[in-house]
Structure 1
Amino acid sequence: MGELFEFGKQILAQQPFSVLLGTELKTFESGKAELSLIVKEELKQQHGFVHGGVVSYLADNALTYAGGSVLGDSVTSEYKINYLRPAIGERLIARARVLSSGKRQAVCQCEIVATDSGEERMIAVAQGTITKVAS
Structure 2
Amino acid sequence: MDMTDTGDFRGRIRQSFTRQGAMEMLGAELAQVEQAMVEIEMPFDPKLTQQHGFLHAGVISAALETTCTYAAYTTIAPEESVLTIEFKVNLMSPGRGERFLFRGEITKPGSTIIVADGRGYAIGDGPAKLIASMTSTMMIIRGRQDVVG
Q: Which has the higher helix share?
A: 1
C-alpha deviation, 1:60, in angstroms: 0.7
Q: Which has the higher strand share?
A: 1
Q: 1:100 aligns with which of 88, 103, 108?
A: 108
Correspondence for 1:22: 27
Correspondence for 2:134: 126
2:75 aligned counterpart, secondary structure = helix
Q: Give a deviation string over 1:58-111, Cα, whole Å, max 9, x none.
A: 111111111121024111111100000100001111111111111122111111
Aligned-partner residue type, residue 119 of structure 2? E
Aligned-partner residue type, residue 21 of structure 1? L
Distance in 1 of aligned mates of 2:14 and 2:125:
27
TM-score, normalized by length of structure 2? 0.84
- Identity percentage of aligned residues: 28
Distance in 1 of aligned mates of 2:114 and 2:33:
16
Please tell me whether residue 67 in structure 1 is matched to residue 75 in structure 2: no
Correspondence for 1:79: 87
Distance in 1 of aligned mates of 2:88 and 2:48:
21
Query: Runs ≥4 in structure 1, deviation > 2 angstroms?
Result: 3-7
User: Are the aligned partners of 1:68 and 1:130 in contact in 2 as well (CA < 8 Å)?
Assistant: no
1:128 aligned counterpart, secondary structure = strand
Distance in 1 of aligned mates of 2:110 and 2:13:
21
Distance in 2 of aligned mates of 1:134 and 1:6:
20
Aligned-partner residue type, residue 112 of structure 2? R
Aligned-partner residue type, residue 127 of structure 1? T
C-alpha deviation, 1:4, in angstroms: 2.7
5+ residue gaps, structure 2, are 1-7, 144-149
Structure of higher CA gyration radius = 2
1:57 aligned counterpart, secondary structure = helix
Distance in 2 of aligned mates of 1:100 and 1:112:
20
Distance in 2 of aligned mates of 1:86 and 1:9:
30
User: Are the aligned partners of 1:82 and 1:124 in contact in 2 as well (CA < 8 Å)?
Assistant: yes
Please tell me whether residue 112 in structure 1 is matched to residue 117 in structure 2: no
2:128 aligned counterpart, secondary structure = strand
